[in-house]
Structure 1
Amino acid sequence: MLLQGMEKLGINAKSLESLTLEQLHDLFNRLNKLTLSTSSSSHSNNQKERYPLHVDGAILSPIDKHMLKLLLASNGDVSSMTLSKELGIPLTTVQRRRKRLTEFLDVSCSLALRKFDLRSITFFIAAENGMSTNIAKEILTWPSVISVARTLSNNNIDIKADVVLKTNKEIIDFSEKVKMMPGVKELFWTESIELIGKNSDVLYSKIDST
C-alpha cells in the first residue's frame, strides 16, 4: 500500500525497495505534507489573481468600482434603489456593498458661509521644533476655529487652521493673536474667492487603477 501511495505521488517504487517499512512510512508522510502544502499555496495564488487585493486588504470588483464612482459623483447622495437600477444588481446586494464601500469615501456637509456674509480663512503657521502640537491644540479652543491640523510641507509650515471670520479686521486680529503665541515663527493666510472647477476624472482614474 505504501509503495502504491508513493507511485501516486510520482515516485518510482522500485527505487525504494531497499528501504525499511519505518523509513517508507516516514518518507511517505513527508512527501504527502509537501504535496498538500504546494497545493494550498497554488490555490492561494490563484485566488489572489482572481480577486486582487488592494489597500488594507480590501477587494474592489468591477461592480464595486462602478458603484464607488456613482457615489463619488453624487457626493454620496444617491439612493440605493437608483444604484440598483443603474448597476443592474439586486437592492440587497447594493446595500451590502455600499456599506463596505463607505470606508473609501470622505463625505461631508458644509455651511454656505457666503449666504451668512461669512468668510472661510485658512491660516498656515510655522512653529518652533516640538511646539506644533501644543500650538495647534490651543488654537482649536478659540472661537471661530473650525478645524486644526498638523502638516508637512517644503516651506516649514507645521499647522493649518480653518477659521470662519467676517471682516478684514477680524483676520488681522486673529493673525496677531497667533503671532504672539510662544513658539510661532511665521504665519500667512489664504481665502478661496472663486471655484474655477473640479476634475473628477482624476479620481475616477485612480479608482480604475486600483
Structure 2
Amino acid sequence: MLSNRVAKQFDVLESQKEASMGGGQLQSYSHIREALLEMGAKSSVIDQLSLPALTAVFEIVRECSTASQAKKPGRPKRGALAENLSSLDKKILKALLSSTGTVSSATLSRELGVPLSTVHRRRKWIESYLVDKSYTLKAESFGMRTAELFISTKNGSTSAVAGELLRMCDVVYSVWRTMSESGIDLAAKVICRDHEDLANILERISSISSIDKVRWCNYIRVVGRNNYPSSSIPM
C-alpha cells in the first residue's frame, strides 16, 4: 500500500535528519532524494529541485496518500488511519490533545523543531480526520442546566427512537447509541431551565410509545477535567 510506504519513508527521513543535525543541507538533501526515489520518483525530475522544493514535494505526496486512505468508500478498518501516522504526526497529535487544541502552530513548530508550513499541513490533516472539535455552550451562564437521560427502548426500536429524540431540537442537543448491562440503549443530553422544566421534558420524552424506561441525572457543576489520555497513542 502506497500510504504505508510513504509513512515508513517519512519516519526514516525524520530519524535520519535527527541523527545528522550537524551534517548540513547536503546530507538532508540526500536523505529526501533517496526517500523520493524509493517511492518511484524520477531522478531526472528530482535533481532539478532545491532542498525546500524536495521537502514540499515529499510532504505533499505523503499528505495525498494518507488522505486517499481516509476517503476510501465503505467503513474503514478500525485504526486504519492511525497505522499510517508518522512520528511527527503522533507528536503533533499528542500536543493537541494535551493542550485541548489551544496550542498554536507556531509553538508546535518551535517545540518540535519542524518548519511552520509542515506543522500547518499536518495539523490540518490531523484535525480533519483524527480529532473532533466542537463548541459547547456554558448553560449555567444563561441560567440553564444540562441533564443526561438514559433510555431503554422496546422491540428493536432504538434507531427510530433516536430519530424522534433528535427532532426535539429545542431541548435535545445530542443522542448516543449505547451498549450496557442494564439495558440502556440510548443516552441523550438535554438543556433545561430548572427541575420543573426537566420534569416536563421527561414527561414529553417518556410519552414516546417505543420507550420502555427513562433514567436521568442532572449536572450540577464541573468538579474537574483531565486532558485526553495521549499515552494511548503509541510512539
TM-score with structure 2 setting the length: 0.62
- Aligned residue in 1 for 2:56: none
Within the alignment, does 1:145 sit opposite 2:172 as a pair?
A: yes
User: Any gaps of 5 or more consecutive residues in structure 2?
Assistant: 13-77
SS of equivalent residue, structure 2 residue 229:
helix
Number of equivalenced pairs: 161
Partners of 1:107 and 1:92 in 2: how far apart?
22
The match for 1:176 is 203
Q: Match for 1:191 among 205, 218, 223?
A: 218
Q: Mean alpha-carbon deviation: is it higher for 60-69 or for 81-90?
A: 60-69
Q: What SS does the corresponding residue of 1:187 show, helix, strand or coil?
A: strand
Deviation at residue 198 of structure 1 after TM alignment: 3.0
Q: 1:12-57 CA deviation, whole Å, 9 max, x = no partner? A: xxxxxxxxxxxxxxxxxxxxxxxxxxxxxxxx8xx59x77xx9214
- Asked if 1:121 is matched to 2:147, the reply is yes
- State the match for 1:106 in structure 2: 132
Q: Rg bigger for which structure?
A: 1
Q: Residue 176 of structure 1 aligns to which amino acid in structure 2?
A: E
Asked whether the equivalents of residues 152 and 211 of structure 2 are also in contact (C-alpha less than 8 Å), the reply is yes
Specify the SS of the correspondent of 1:55.
Answer: coil
1:29 equivalent in structure 2: none
Q: Residues 13-92 of structure 1 correspond to what in structure 2 (within 5 A)? A: 55-57=79-81, 58-92=83-117
Q: 3-state DSSP class of the match of 1:56?
A: coil
What is the alpha-carbon distance in structure 2 between the residues aligned to residue 55 and residue 151 of structure 1? 21
The reply on whether 1:161 has 2:165 as its aligned counterpart is no
Runs of 4+ in 1 over 6 A off after TM superposition: none
8 A contact 2:145–2:220 mirrored in 1: no
> Structure 1 residue 78: deviation in Å?
2.6
1:135 aligns with 161
Highest RCO, 1 vs 2 (Cα 8 Å, sep ≥ 6): 2
Superposition CA RMSD, Å? 2.4
Structure 1 unaligned blocks of 5 or more? 1-43
Measure how far apart 1:189 and its partner are.
0.7
**2:150–2:214 Cα contact (<8 Å) kept:** yes
Structure 1 Cα separation of the partners of residues 96 and 226 of structure 2: 16
The answer to whether the 8 A contact 1:144-1:164 is kept is yes
- 1:26 aligned residue: none
Query: Identity over aligned residues, as a percent?
Result: 35
Q: Could you say which residue in structure 2 is the equivalent of 1:95?
A: 120
**What SS class does the counterpart of residue 122 from structure 1 fall into?**
strand
Answer yes or no: is the 8 Å Cα contact 1:75–1:107 preserved in 2.
Answer: no
- Which residue does 1:8 correspond to in 2? none
Q: What displacement does 1:162 show? A: 1.0
Cα deviation for residue 121 of structure 1 reads: 0.9
User: In the TM superposition, what is the alpha-carbon distance from 1:74 to its structure 2 partner?
Assistant: 2.6
